[in-house]
Amino acid sequence: MGVTTAPLNEEARVISAEMTGYMSQRNEMGAGIRYTQETAPGRLMDFSVAGGQDSRGLVAGGGMDFEILHEDVNQPRVSIKPYLQHQKFEASNSNLIGAAPSIRKGFSINGQEFFPYLALPSGIKVDSSSDEFVYYASMSFGASMPFPGAQNDKILLSVEGNKNMGGSSDYIGALVSWMWK
């Protein structure tokens, strides 16, 4: 899900570096880069490219997060993120089209803000080698927080886990994001 679940400053632009440990379908480490930008209030666009250590895998895609309910003191943020991805894994290619509804509610402990979230990405995967359509679903959970001591909350730290619920992959990931206007 990336940093689209973190509260960003108005008109913010964010570049993120991510490390991912895949635990199903392939056991390997991966790395990637992601660009996120607020295009309008309540609307975040992102693009990402990532690769796998051993599989010669490549994932490239993008999406647009649409805020449905704005977060405030008594209510969580609710959004939906339609997205499109292209995956290359060894000799096979597939395209994914889907949507990820998400919910986030921030809180503070000893003055440090945390923004945990839960998302349910699901959609259709088209495998180019077999031309078959496969339904996939997963449950992503994680949290983002401003880096303690970073001036004006310009650096975000995020962790994310993903549980395969069909046609997906289990992973644990970490992101470091730098934000600017």
The per-residue pLDDT for 5 is 63
Residue 45: inside a domain: yes
Residues sharing a CB contact under 8 Å with residue 86, sequence separation 6 or more, in sequence order: 58, 59, 60, 61, 93, 94, 95, 96
Residue 181 lies in a domain: no
Structural domain boundaries, residue 38: 2-170
In a domain, 175, yes or no: no
Give Cβ neighbours of residue 92 (< 8 Å, ≥ 6 apart). 127, 128, 129
**Pairing outcome for strands 92-104 and 58-69:** unpaired
User: For 23, left (φ over 0), alpha (ψ -120 to 50), or beta?
Assistant: alpha
Coil, helix or strand at residue 113: strand
| Residue closest to 68 by CA, chosen among 56, 59, 77 | 77
What does the DSSP 8-state code read for residue 147? P
Number of structural domains (the chain) is 1
- Quick one: pLDDT at residue 2? 60
CB within 8 Å of 178: residues ≥ 6 apart: 14, 15, 16, 154, 155
pLDDT (tens place) for every residue of the chain, 181 residues total: 565 667 777 778 999 999 988 776 667 788 999 999 999 888 999 999 998 876 667 889 999 999 999 998 889 999 999 999 998 877 788 899 999 999 999 999 888 889 999 999 999 988 877 778 889 899 999 999 988 877 766 899 999 999 988 777 788 999 999 988 7
Beta bridge partners of 32: 18, 50
Is 179 among the domain residues?
no
**pLDDT at residue 177 in the model:** 92
pTM reported for the whole predicted model: 0.87
